[in-house]
Amino acid sequence: MAKKIKLSELGSLFNDMDVESLEGVTIEGDIELEMDTGGGFDPQLAYMLGHETAQIARHLINISRLLGYPVDQLFGSIAQGEVPGVTRPRQLLPSKFEVGRIEEWKNPIQEVILGATSSDGGTRKNTFTLGGENALPYYFDSPMPHRNHITMDVFDMPIGMAKAVKVNYEDVLESPAEWAKKVVNDFGADMVTIHLISTDPNIKDTSPREAAETVADVLQAVDVPIVIGGSGNPEKDPEVLEKAAEVAEGERVLLASASLNLDYERIAKAATDYGHVVLSWTQLEINAQKELNRKLMKQCGVKREDIIMDPTTAALGYGLDYAYTNMERIRLAGLMGDEELSFPMSSGTTNAWGAREAWMVGSPLKEDSDWGPREYRGPIWEIVTGLTLSLAGNDLFMMMHPGSVAVLKEITQSLHGSLERDAVDISDWVTAEV
Amino acid sequence: MKVNSPLEVYKFLPQTNCGDCGEATCMAFASHMIDRSLKLEDCPPLLEDKFRKKYLKLAELLAPEIREVIIGTGEHAVSVGGDDILYRHQLTFFNQPALAVDVWDTMSEDELTERIKFINEYKKFYVGRFLKLDMVAIRSTSGDPDKFKQAVTIAAGNTELPLILCSLDPKVLKAGLEVVADRKPLLYAATKDNWQDVADLMMEYDVPLVLFSPDDLDTLKSLAATFLEMGREDLVLDPGTNPQGKPLRESFENFLMIRRAGIKEGQHEIAFPLLAVPMTAYLANDDPVSASYWETVLASVFTVRYGDIMILHSIEPYALLPEMHIRDTIYTDPRKPVKVDPKVYEVGSPDKDSPVFVTTNFALTYYTVESDLASNDIDCYLLATDTDGLGVEAAVAGGQMTGQKVSDEFKRIGFDFSEMTAHNTVILPGLAARLQGDMEDASGLKVKIGPPDSGRIPGWMEKNWPPE
């Protein structure tokens, strides 16, 4: 008896021989396959053979084509992709889905604690830990040890803000302490950021001493961990933050911020002298972020557990693509072992309110379709900006609108897996009457 | 793709450096294959018979890991999938997720027509073009084939956008296909229960198909393997979009796992575009604003992480605008220059009495200002000064935009105020107000300060133009 080979083997045989076509070979008549099932009837075997038959038939078609047999004309009337004479599998081909973990993510992100309780020399009721991730946020490779946190903005003077934001704060604009209470008690802020913007010489030139009193008031008013922000004036900020750090000694505040365009050594020293954490702020440039972090550690002696990064947040539609990718690259580099980038991240999500879509009554362009009411547009702009960065690895969000805070908490904690909600049957969403 | 260096591609090219593709060398062409900026078919010799084998081999090597599926026909056809990477900085994502808005077969004809008109026309200008919606998803809420057929007929008559026919009942799907099969709609969906009947429809009408297996990736993979076995590659996968709580996290993980399997592990059987259904937000929220917000949140999550088609219900602008923008954010090609040529642009038909505005050459800034001016019929000159692609605020802070530099730009370009204008006045952006003195000293021009947002230029013009 001649040696039998499977047609599928014939195909690979041709491949190995580098044969493109065979001259003088024709296939005539009906194509028949005889399968010997070896007697007895085994449904599983029959099924597997059915599968095999289909594969063989397909190979046969391909080989016939290879041999120059006009199969396409023969089957011209049949829809493309359908294999003639082959009944499709009678049941679903069994399959098991599996996927591996990312082996390159070997380096955990630094854990950083904000706030200090009385046992640690502070007066905060609780502390929060940021960082500690071993994977991108919410990935299955490794559980995310700490949820995201939100710190809400408080300013040391009334400032211009979008109408949708302002309506929430009109009664507290004159009192940072009351403002701080409101965001914690009414709006569910985890933390408070006190922005000392009035210290800017171009605004009110408030003295560092006076600004420090405001910080003390806020620390008195609320018992959550706080962030202290300067005015952004590179000449004034170091002395303002020094005094603020002093008055908050032992509270483990986040000092915002050290950057390459001011005297970051003074900010770093203020943080280390009085037991605080430094916010290392750069502008959408991963190498600048590495440089500043390196300087803070090597040149200023800041410990790893005392650094959080702000790589800059740009609003949805206004550069969020850069901010997102910058953060994602930073986080991936950190996870893969870049010790100069493996720190928790913070986002000035409030920047979303700079987008005209967030605050303008309507589009300035006649060609645009209706933008709808801005009361709803603004908060969702802040939410989507923050949410996108949360997926890139951002840990701490600085925000303004109470509605945005509530929704961002809901989605980040859902993805984190820490929220219990009723199960919803989605199997028949198509027919839902909504 | 299965190759990652130009050398691996070069091996299969004609290596004649003929230049027919527009590149100087075959190696240069090869690098465009790797970054996907040219197509294999751009090499004419490769299409000749003698290179056929190499062409086929290259086509196989260069095929994207995630299959590309085309829905619809003609100029409105939408391609989905086709990605090769997991993070956008690695190259770029291809084929923006298609935004499909739903209609349903229990709507009255008027409601249906009006909603479809809205979907057709909704648009927002952004960086030189309009953001728009892509598809109409027709849901059978009645379960009645005749009603569905009627709705599909009305929908098809009122839009050229590709359609998704949604029902788990093959009889209903067939009724829809009888009307619009030639437009290659996407069929939603085959499940573990109906797949054989739906397979018949797919084969008979030759249309792309969604496989739906909520929360069960083994079955999803089985379905995909089974349809592949039947020779179908035009598949889209829906692993289920749970709207809240821990099941939402599981849906998120499923999207991650499927895409990782397809791209990183080359698991051919599961390497298809993914469909998300953010409208399940409406199953979990009764309040329409909450539902609309939550749908936007879900759409954003699945746009960032690997959804290729979104089925949406809300047509509130506050939902659509961020959805269109986040899609653009994630799918913008990070390799593309974000600068416009630094020069003086004419908006409308400016004359000697027209104002001269200054902005930066950051594309987003420039197009925003330009469109604000054009849309409000303001004839003017607009300098896009070279800030190396920074916006106004950053360029002023960083010194890329100074009075001297702006003044020098006008000189370099050859824009002479005494010749081109009767007013000798230039208008700086409100965010560059602090440059006023410098600019006056450097240029000898009268310098006015415009509003901080170019959307407010029309109001500003009323008070400030023409200059006294």
Q: Which CATH number do you get for residue B366?
A: 3.40.50.11600
Domain membership of residue B190 (yes or no) is: yes
Position A12 scores a pLDDT of 52
Instruction: Name the CATH superfamily housing domain A112-416.
Output: Dihydropteroate synthase-like (3.20.20.20)
Interface touch B252/A366, C-beta < 8 Å: no
Position B339 scores a pLDDT of 85
Position B468 scores a pLDDT of 81
**What are the sequence ranges of the domains in chain A?**
1-18+42-92, 112-416
pLDDT of residue A15 exceeding 80: no
Phi/psi of residue A162, each to 5°? -60, 145
Nearest CB to B329: which of A380, A388, A424? A388
CB B178 within 8 A of CB B149: yes
- Higher pLDDT among residues A283 and B67, named by residue: B67
Residue B80 and residue B56 share a domain: no
Position A25 scores a pLDDT of 42
Residue A35, classified by CB atoms within 10 Å of its CB into exposed (0-12), middle (13-18) or buried (19+), is: exposed
Domain span at B220 = 68-331
Position A53 scores a pLDDT of 46
Q: Distance between CA A87 and CA A351 in Å, rounded? A: 60
Cα nearest neighbour of A409 on chain B: B297
The angle that helices B245-263 and B217-229 make with each other, rounded to 10 degrees, is: 40
What tokens appear for A193 in the block? 């950021």
pLDDT of residue B378 exceeding 60: yes
Position B4 scores a pLDDT of 87
Interval A368-381: pLDDT, tens: 999 999 999 999 99
The SS3 of residue A155 is strand
CB-CB neighbors (< 8 A) of A420 in chain B? 245-246
Q: Which of B331, B362, B394 is the last residue of a domain?
A: B331
DSSP structural state of residue B25:
S
Nearest CB to B326: which of A93, A99, A388? A388
Residue A230, classified by CB atoms within 10 Å of its CB into exposed (0-12), middle (13-18) or buried (19+), is: buried
Q: What's the gap in Å between the CA of A221 and the closest CA on chain B?
A: 33
Position A58 scores a pLDDT of 52
Number of neighbours of residue B157 by Cβ within 10 angstroms = 10
Domain membership of residue B339 (yes or no) is: no
Residue B130 and residue B40 share a domain: no
Interface touch B334/A325, C-beta < 8 Å: yes
What tokens appear for B28 in the block? 């240069």
Residue B231 and residue B362 share a domain: no
Residue B39 and residue B147 share a domain: no
- Residue keyed to tokens 């933008």: A371
Q: Which of B31, B62, B93 is the last residue of a domain?
A: B62
Interval B296-331: pLDDT, tens: 999 999 999 999 999 999 999 999 999 999 999 999
Position A62 scores a pLDDT of 52
* Percent over 90 (pLDDT), chain B: 91
Interface touch A99/B455, C-beta < 8 Å: no
Interface touch B293/A79, C-beta < 8 Å: no
CB-CB neighbors (< 8 A) of A415 in chain B? 248-249, 252, 301
Residue B281 and residue B150 share a domain: yes
Range with the poorest average pLDDT among A19-28, A55-64, A220-229, A385-394: A19-28
- Put residue B183 in one of left, alpha, beta given phi > 0 → left and psi -120 to 50 → alpha: alpha
Q: Distance between CA B92 and CA B328 in Å, rounded? A: 12
- B229 pLDDT band, cuts 50/70/90, is very high
pLDDT of residue A61 exceeding 60: no
Position A261 scores a pLDDT of 86
pLDDT of residue A47 exceeding 70: no
Q: Which CATH number do you get for residue B260?
A: 3.20.20.20
The SS3 of residue A6 is coil
Interval A140-184: pLDDT, tens: 999 999 999 999 999 999 999 999 999 999 999 999 999 999 999
Q: What's the gap in Å between the CA of A244 and the closest CA on chain B?
A: 26
- Residue keyed to tokens 């360029």: B395
Position B452 scores a pLDDT of 87
Q: Distance between CA B33 and CA B68 in Å, rounded? A: 17
Domain membership of residue B1 (yes or no) is: no
User: Domain count of chain B?
Assistant: 3
Q: Distance between CA B236 and CA B79 in Å, rounded? A: 11
pLDDT of residue B102 exceeding 90: yes
Interface touch B322/A325, C-beta < 8 Å: no
> Region B55-77: what's the mean pLDDT?
95
pLDDT of residue A16 exceeding 60: no
Q: Distance between CA B112 and CA B163 in Å, rounded? A: 14
pLDDT of residue A81 exceeding 50: no
Domain membership of residue B11 (yes or no) is: yes
Interval A84-135: pLDDT, tens: 544 578 899 999 999 999 999 999 999 999 999 999 999 999 999 999 999 9
Among A380, A408, A418, A420, pick the best mutation site for testing chain B contact (most B Cβ within 10 A): A380
Q: What's the gap in Å between the CA of A96 and the closest CA on chain B?
A: 5
Interval B126-145: pLDDT, tens: 988 999 999 999 999 999 99
pLDDT of residue B20 exceeding 80: yes
Residue B89 and residue B103 share a domain: yes
Chain A with chain B: Cβ pairs closer than 8 A: 261
Question: In B2-108, where does DSSP find H-type helix?
Answer: 6-10, 26-34, 52-62
Cα nearest neighbour of A357 on chain B: B321
The SS3 of residue B429 is coil
CB-CB neighbors (< 8 A) of B305 in chain A? 391
Element (H, E) at A217: helix A208-221
CB A230 within 8 A of CB A237: yes
Q: Which of B301, B331, B361 is the last residue of a domain?
A: B331
Q: Distance between CA B100 and CA B103 in Å, rounded? A: 10
Phi/psi of residue B177, each to 5°? -60, -35
Strand order in the sheet with B235-238: B235-238, B209-212, B186-190, B163-166, B135-139, B98-104, B309-312, B275-276
Residue B206 and residue B288 share a domain: yes
The DSSP secondary structure of A92-109, one letter per residue, reads: PPP--------TT--SPP
Q: Does the bond joining B189 to the residue before it have cis omega, within 30 degrees of 0?
A: yes
Average pLDDT, chain A: 86
Residue B10 and residue B95 share a domain: no
DSSP structural state of residue A295:
I
Nearest CB to A367: which of B230, B260, B375? B375
Q: Distance between CA B282 and CA A428 in Å, rounded? A: 13
The DSSP secondary structure of B73-90, one letter per residue, reads: -GGG-EEEE----SSGGG
Distance of CA A118 to the CA centre of its chain: 34
Interval B256-278: pLDDT, tens: 999 999 999 999 999 999 999 99
CB-CB neighbors (< 8 A) of B283 in chain A? 424-426, 429, 432, 434
Q: A329: number of CA atoms within 13 Å, CB side?
A: 18
Residue B209 and residue B250 share a domain: yes
Cα nearest neighbour of B298 on chain A: A411
Domain membership of residue B336 (yes or no) is: no
Q: Which CATH number do you get for residue B43?
A: 1.10.15.40
Residue B31 and residue B123 share a domain: no
- Put residue A139 in one of left, alpha, beta given phi > 0 → left and psi -120 to 50 → alpha: beta
Domain membership of residue B288 (yes or no) is: yes
Residue B265 and residue B124 share a domain: yes
pLDDT of residue A9 exceeding 60: no
- B399 pLDDT band, cuts 50/70/90, is confident
A174 residue type, one letter: E
Q: Distance between CA B349 and CA A155 in Å, rounded? A: 46
Strand order in the sheet with A191-195: A307-310, A277-281, A254-258, A226-229, A191-195, A149-155, A396-399, A346-347
Residue B410 and residue B392 share a domain: yes
